[in-house]
Amino acid sequence: MNNVVWTIAGSDSGGGAGIQADIKAMQSFGVHGCTAITALTAQNSLGVEAINAVSTDIIESQLLALEKDMKAKVIKIGMLANVQQIQLISEHISHYKAKWPVPPVIVYDPVAIASSGDLLTEEDTVSAIKECLLPLVDVITPNTHETQLLTGVYLIGPAAIKEAANKLLSWGAKAVVIKGGHWDYPSGYCIDYCINNFTQKGEEYWLGNEKIQTPHNHGTGCSMASVIAACLAKDYPLKDAFILAKAYINQGLKVAVRYGEGIGPVAQTSFPTNLADYPQVIEAGSWLGDELDFDVPLDFNMAADFAPCESKSLGLYAVVDSVDWLEKCLQQGVKTVQLRVKNKDDAQLDELVAKAVALGEQYNAQVFINDYWQLAIKHGAYGVHLGQQDLENTNLAAIKNAGLRLGLSTHGFYEMLRAHNYRPSYLAFGAIYPTTTKDMTGQIQGLEKLFKFVPLMQSYPTVAIGGIDLKRASQVAKTGVGSVAVVRAISEADDYVQAISALQAAIN
């Protein structure tokens, strides 16, 4: 695995921002940071005294040395001190994208030094960024001040944020993260925006949390972009990298201290493990969603705090596609079962759900119905299991008011925090391993992430799903997850009775 990330940026003699912050933030996320220095700034906690641009020859010699031996998976670009530097870096990036066996992902954090905006106010600088660099950039991460300088859009509200982000996309960037640390909208909150045309067209995300009150925030921009770069190098999707970067900054701001007379640097800490440091995923129907003028989908009716499950540990969880299999599992003592049927007509479904609910009652077990929440309500099921894409067109209030439990699927940090908005009855993490039961391309989490998800969501019953077989079940259980959900490990076993008892033993 190539965990090399380069930072092409300026040195901050005060140690709080630039190259110095980048390497520390990258280190916190377990990637190796290499550097090509573009400027030697003379600064301390009171301000910037000088910016000494490094010559393009010296920058090039650093890039050539790295290219020969330590190619990067992700390149983070920070301060570029003049048009010549922008042109040089653009030429090199263009060569890497064309010639390297694996083209690097480019994260560009435009730096308008201090609050004066010096480096981004020259017209030729902005044109060089637009014309040469932006078409090569995968993710640009300006703060609101830098966004205004680059786009000319005055950021008075959410519509203006979107307009500016779309301008940056139209100039070639594949994704835009606008850091809201300097934006006080709504008052007392820090709201960040991301639009991603990188993997999927026009996916957008808003994150928010109450502003952390500290003057010691030097280096937050560089650190946030470096964490995004590090996470992308570790194959996190951008929406998860965005979440983790914000959580890391929140964690660092809470313990930041001063080292000189002036503003101290954001503290460089470690992978965020405290839920209180994570931002909120802002959604339609929430208070912050209303403040940001989100449209509420027609069939959606927000609800949170669903009925709890009897126990925090749901044990072996059989996911089956027929009433016949449901009964076989119940007969073997499986206490959590899900009816997951696809492609049946309405009349058949009604009957299947009615039978599944009756069997659950007969065996005193928790039967969840996948997808068909109206039928689950109609027949008084124990609970409903829904995916993230179901959330927009489900009347959650109806499920809650009927007293049904709600289980939610999550695939990564972003979806986990989104699900947390609804305080469901349990959270499922998947797909832990590759599976042939369902196309989970790009959504395989692995055990390392499961080890992070479980303690963050410790107030919920938790479930792991995807590619879990008898050999893997005990490893999965060691993460502390309260339940292991399987399809093929039971349905394709040579002897399902023996498989169920072996899985139960492995989990316990």
Which residues ranging from 299 to 338 are in contact with ligand 3NM (CB under 6 A)? Answer: 319
Distance separating alpha carbons of residues 87 and 93, to the nearest angstrom: 10
Task: Tell me whether residue 374 is annotated as binding.
Answer: no
The interface region with Mg ion, picked from 78-86, 160-168, 307-315, 386-394 by CB under 5 A, is 386-394
Min CB(327)–ligand LCLJCK34 separation in Å: 19
- Strand intervals (E) in 349-469: 366-370, 383-386, 405-410, 426-429, 462-465
Residue found under tokens 């599944």 = 356
Choosing from 141, 435, 479, 483, the residue that interacts with ligand 3NM (CB under 6 A) is: 435
487 binds ligand 3NM (CB under 6 A): yes
Of the candidates 102, 188, 179, which has an alpha carbon nearest to the alpha carbon of residue 140?
A: 179
Helix (H), strand (E) at residue 47: strand 47-53
Task: Tell me whether residue 353 is annotated as binding.
Answer: no
Q: Which is nearer to ligand 3NM, 185 or 317 (CB)?
A: 317
Peptide bond into 215 cis (omega under 30): no
Min CB(371)–ligand 3NM separation in Å: 11
Residue found under tokens 């980048």 = 22
- Interface pattern 446-485 for ligand 3NM (x via CB under 6 A): -------------------xxxx-----------------
Which residues ranging from 377 to 436 are in contact with ligand LCLJCK34 (CB under 6 A)? Answer: 385-387, 409, 428, 430
Which residues ranging from 396 to 425 are in contact with ligand 3NM (CB under 6 A)? Answer: 409, 411
The SS3 of residue 11 is strand
Choose among Mg ion, ligand LCLJCK34, ligand 3NM, none what residue 22 binds, the Cβ cut-off being 5 to 8 Å by kind.
none
Q: Which is nearer to ligand 3NM, 143 or 491 (CB)?
A: 491
Task: Tell me whether residue 227 is annotated as binding.
Answer: no
Q: Which is nearer to ligand 3NM, 192 or 321 (CB)?
A: 321
Of the candidates 267, 255, 250, 265, which has an alpha carbon nearest to the alpha carbon of residue 190?
A: 250
Choosing from 387, 392, 444, 504, the residue that interacts with Mg ion (CB under 5 A) is: 387
371 binds Mg ion (CB under 5 A): yes
Following CA atoms 151, 152, 155, 160 in sequence, which dihedral angle do they give, to the nearest 10 degrees?
A: -70
The interface region with ligand 3NM, picked from 99-107, 306-314, 400-408, 433-441 by CB under 6 A, is 433-441
Choosing from 28, 85, 217, 338, the residue that interacts with ligand LCLJCK34 (CB under 6 A) is: 338
Peptide bond into 165 cis (omega under 30): no
22 binds ligand LCLJCK34 (CB under 6 A): no
Alpha-helix runs per DSSP H in 29-142: 56-69, 83-99, 118-121, 123-128
112 binds ligand LCLJCK34 (CB under 6 A): no
Distance separating alpha carbons of residues 203 and 200, to the nearest angstrom: 6
Q: How many CB atoms lie within 10 A of CB 303?
A: 18
**Spatial contact of 42 and 48, defined as CB atoms under 8 Å apart:** yes
Helix (H), strand (E) at residue 261: none
DSSP state of 139: E
- Extract long-range pairs of 61-70: CB within 8 Å, 24+ residues apart: 62/35, 62/36, 62/37, 63/8, 63/36, 63/92, 66/6, 66/34, 66/36, 67/92, 67/96, 70/4, 70/34
Q: How many helices (H) and strands (E) does the chain have?
A: 19, 18
DSSP state of 371: S
Min CB(192)–ligand 3NM separation in Å: 27
Q: Which is nearer to Mg ion, 103 or 387 (CB)?
A: 387
Of the candidates 70, 142, 85, 67, which has an alpha carbon nearest to the alpha carbon of residue 109?
A: 142
Which residues ranging from 433 to 452 are in contact with ligand LCLJCK34 (CB under 6 A)? Answer: 438
Burial class (CB in 10 A: 0-12, 13-18, 19+), 474: middle
Choosing from 488, 493, 496, 502, the residue that interacts with ligand 3NM (CB under 6 A) is: 488
Total residues interacting with ligand 3NM, rule: CB under 6 A: 17
Min CB(494)–ligand 3NM separation in Å: 15
Task: Tell me whether residue 116 is annotated as binding.
Answer: no
Min CB(442)–Mg ion separation in Å: 18
Which residue is nearest to ligand LCLJCK34, using beta carbons?
Answer: 387
The interface region with ligand 3NM, picked from 2-10, 19-27, 225-233, 435-443 by CB under 6 A, is 435-443
User: How far are the Cα atoms of 54, 219, 264, 265, 337 from residue 215, in angstroms, in the given order?
Assistant: 31, 12, 7, 9, 52
321 binds Mg ion (CB under 5 A): no
Q: What does the DSSP assignment read for 102-126?
A: SPPEEEE-----TTTTHHHHSHHHH
Q: Which is nearer to ligand 3NM, 163 or 469 (CB)?
A: 469
What are φ and ψ of residue 144, in 5° steps? -65, -35
Choose among Mg ion, ligand 3NM, ligand LCLJCK34, none what residue 338 binds, the Cβ cut-off being 5 to 8 Å by kind.
ligand LCLJCK34
Residue ranges that bind ligand 3NM, judged by CB under 6 A: 319, 409, 411, 430-431, 435, 437-438, 440, 465-468, 486-489
Annotated binding site: 338-342, 370-371, 390, 409, 435-438, 467
Residue ranges that bind Mg ion, judged by CB under 5 A: 370-371, 387
Residue ranges that bind ligand LCLJCK34, judged by CB under 6 A: 317, 319, 338, 340, 370-371, 385-387, 409, 428, 430, 438, 463, 465, 485
